[in-house]
Structure 1
């Protein structure tokens, strides 16, 4: 219960990008175009993998779910971000704010596990090629994908239940453009020690452990590749890992820049723009990296486009 001199908060005011208010129209158009590009590029990846037989392999199955997570993450934030940029009403109910946080966390954390699963796939393909098809069967592939979603869903649901139990009294504004975990918990007047301990455990489980796993798998991959006598074969194997490794670096660099780099209260605007790295930059880069660097994706896209052209004519 709130104290007598405090008012219970039922709505949260999001301040958005108030420091660049004069450029809000330009930013709105820019972010809208980027959001459309993110949806289009990732949905193309999802549809191509779903309808193309020769893309029905584990790596592209993982890529499809990574693209799905990108779409969900971006959609959970960007539409309302665009709304508060041009509308006077910038409030969300407490339930709406926590729901946005819930969807955002699930789609963000599942990417860490999917990237780890993709690194395991590359490890098997390069270090154990003879047993690859036996180990990475379609059944195992689906178990890894759905297991990742289930683990994240379970842990984040447990955390969000605790967030829903927090009390909000007095202040009702967030100096941000979406309901991120830190600002939401900081706004609460309840004891958050148990919640923060759980969040630390979840962060270790869903961010740090997958990151260490990825590093270990790539160390083993590098050791395997450098033992191959053929220079051409080494280059080919390095190239097969380059797209995934680029995405891993992009995603984790963005994550570490936002959440691990020290910041001061007066640099909140900088933190907002840092957050855009993994909310719009990474989801836009992922399909571009794979579509430009993967021959199978380009061939599949070309065939689909040609079929559409033939149907139209």
Structure 2
């Protein structure tokens, strides 16, 4: 019995990494998946990059709403870059090994960017609430200093909690299988590999999820509840339509992101199937960031006008360089 315990202990200490299965369980679609994910990643970079550019240079978009939108697009690029390049490299090389430190680092950044996204979406909902429900005081309430404080708070608030959560998860003994049935180091598949008692870790997952998921979500629901109530009081049909169009794109993003992430993190270990976990993770880590630029441009008249002004300038500069 004693020798068995020593063997398990040595296995947990010797194991220095994991194997990310990713999408290797469907080898016949290897290159098709590589092409699809590469195109999606390029669309994310280009689409969000264009939004960052136009919100920085277009004079008509110099207000808090587009300030937060530009930062949200930058966050989306950071968020996707923590997972997709690694996934593409694994598909290309077939080398699925990931070191213990690299896995922990990836999880930490995914959690940090994910919590920042939840908080930033809540901040954007508050911005729309002030703009629609208290328009006369909007420039005063959402001044540049307040916007910078809200943005900094969104980025910084989750750091100690997510770093602490990552450290706690990776302090668990992993003495059994070291194969992660996922395409990145996420909490549910990692907890499945732990051979110790994970009750405290699962409890912490719920606590952090409530803090950085449920609380922002409730703030968003409250803000939009008041927004809808005020919109319905407007006598002008044109005014109601304009107010709804301003908020509809943001609401669409919220439903896509919060809906899929909720299913993942509110059942962190026992009941989630591997295939469903990967599919849901693809939604909130890849598909939603890819769709965000389309949602914000196609459903936002100001952004479309800014794009129409920007594209001829870019084409002119391109022709000048050729000459």
Instruction: Map 1:157-306; keep pairs closer than 5 Å.
Output: 157-260=163-266, 267-306=273-312
Return the alpha-carbon distance in structure 2 between the equivalents of residues 100 and 264 of structure 1. 22
Deviation track 1:230-259 (CA, whole Å, cap 9, x = no partner) reads 222112211111111111111112223444
Q: How many residues align?
A: 312
Deviation track 1:24-52 (CA, whole Å, cap 9, x = no partner) reads 11111111111111111111111222223
Return the alpha-carbon distance in structure 2 between the equivalents of residues 283 and 239 of structure 1. 20
Equivalent residue, structure 1, for 2:120: 114
Match of 2:7 among 5, 8, 22: 5
> Displacement of 1:66 after TM fit?
1.4
Is the Cα–Cα contact under 8 Å of residues 188 and 268 in structure 2 kept in the other structure? no
Is the Cα–Cα contact under 8 Å of residues 69 and 111 in structure 1 kept in the other structure? yes
Return the alpha-carbon distance in structure 2 between the equivalents of residues 283 and 152 of structure 1. 20
> Displacement of 1:219 after TM fit?
1.1
Deviation track 1:264-293 (CA, whole Å, cap 9, x = no partner) reads 879412321221111111001111111112
Equivalent residue, structure 2, for 1:151: 157
Q: Unpaired runs of 5+ in structure 2?
A: none
Which secondary structure state, in structure 2, belongs to the residue aligned with residue 197 of structure 1?
Answer: helix
Which secondary structure state, in structure 1, belongs to the residue aligned with residue 25 of structure 2?
Answer: helix
Which secondary structure state, in structure 2, belongs to the residue aligned with residue 17 of structure 1?
Answer: coil
Deviation track 1:107-141 (CA, whole Å, cap 9, x = no partner) reads 11211111111111111111111111110111101
Equivalent residue, structure 2, for 1:28: 34
> Displacement of 1:61 after TM fit?
1.4
> Displacement of 1:171 after TM fit?
1.9
> Displacement of 1:176 after TM fit?
1.0
Instruction: Map 1:14-53; keep pairs closer than 5 Å.
Output: 14-53=20-59
Instruction: Map 1:73-152; keep pairs closer than 5 Å.
Output: 73-152=79-158
Farther off after superposition, 83-92 or 217-226: 83-92
TM-score by length of structure 2 reads: 0.90
> Displacement of 1:21 after TM fit?
1.4
Which secondary structure state, in structure 1, belongs to the residue aligned with residue 52 of structure 2?
Answer: helix
> Displacement of 1:261 after TM fit?
7.3
Equivalent residue, structure 2, for 1:55: 61
Deviation track 1:184-229 (CA, whole Å, cap 9, x = no partner) reads 1332234433333332221101000111111111111111111112
Q: Unpaired runs of 5+ in structure 1?
A: none
Farther off after superposition, 224-233 or 159-168: 159-168
RMSD across aligned positions (CA): 2.1
Which secondary structure state, in structure 1, belongs to the residue aligned with residue 26 of structure 2?
Answer: helix
Return the alpha-carbon distance in structure 2 between the equivalents of residues 42 and 252 of structure 1. 20
Farther off after superposition, 161-170 or 64-73: 161-170
Which secondary structure state, in structure 2, belongs to the residue aligned with residue 92 of structure 1?
Answer: strand
Return the alpha-carbon distance in structure 1 between the equivalents of residues 21 and 271 of structure 2. 15
> Displacement of 1:164 after TM fit?
3.8
Is the Cα–Cα contact under 8 Å of residues 69 and 108 in structure 1 kept in the other structure? no
Change (3 A) 1:158 1:265: closer
> Displacement of 1:65 after TM fit?
1.8
Return the alpha-carbon distance in structure 1 between the equivalents of residues 43 and 266 of structure 2. 29
Change (3 A) 1:12 1:262: closer
Farther off after superposition, 44-53 or 288-297: 44-53
